[in-house]
Amino acid sequence: MFTKEYWKSSAEKLRSTKYLAIMAATIAMKTALSFFYIPISENLHISFGYLLTAIEGAVLGPVAAAVSGGVTDIVSFMINPTGPFFFGYTLTAMMGPFIYGLFFYRQKITLPRIILAKAVVNYGVNVLIGSLWSAMLYSKGYIYYAGKSLIKNTSMLPIEIILLYTIFRLVGPYLERRKLIIKQN
């Protein structure tokens, strides 16, 4: 699964006009979606960009999707800065697509795979790492931010899994026909 060819295939997407166009379109859509969110606190909100991020991971693979995640974060910040720029958040924006790429690129996208990928992103990236960045930037400690993030990510996890599963069922056949993901059946 994680052979040299696997990584090379994902990285080569960064040289393909077709895949660069797909990246540009998803960057534009994710940037536009970044304006629409439900704020919870100074550094916590509910958004739907993860749906595009997961699809991008499935199509581009972990390497190209991570690059796209970083570009999206920087472009979104330049268009609509919501606080100080912090490279840690850019790394976080790269980790999500990278993880989705690991779970979905060249793989059959099943419900267990979606559940596991979403859990790793929500808890590993959003709670553990996102809370570290918040503690570094804002006035409260790591446990405070981790607790808030844990509650938010745990409560949203089932909804996000259902939405992600539904989206893959809806767009999966189109992506298959375009040979952007492997055959799912």
pLDDT at residue 27 in the model:
96
> In the chain, which stretches have pLDDT less than 70?
41-44
- What's the chain's length in residues? 185
Note the pLDDT of residue 126. Answer: 95
H or E segment to which residue 41 belongs:
strand 38-41
- Domain ranges across the chain: 4-175
Q: In which residue are the tokens 């490279």 written? A: 87
C-beta separation of 39 from 45 below 8 A: yes
**pLDDT by residue (tens digit) across 46-79?**
788 999 999 999 999 999 999 999 999 999 999 9
- Pick from 103, 130, 128, 122: nearest CA to 161: 122
For the 4-175 domain, the top CATH level (class) is mainly alpha
Backbone angles phi, psi at 45, to 5 degrees: -155, 165
> Which residues are paired to 44 by β-bridges?
41
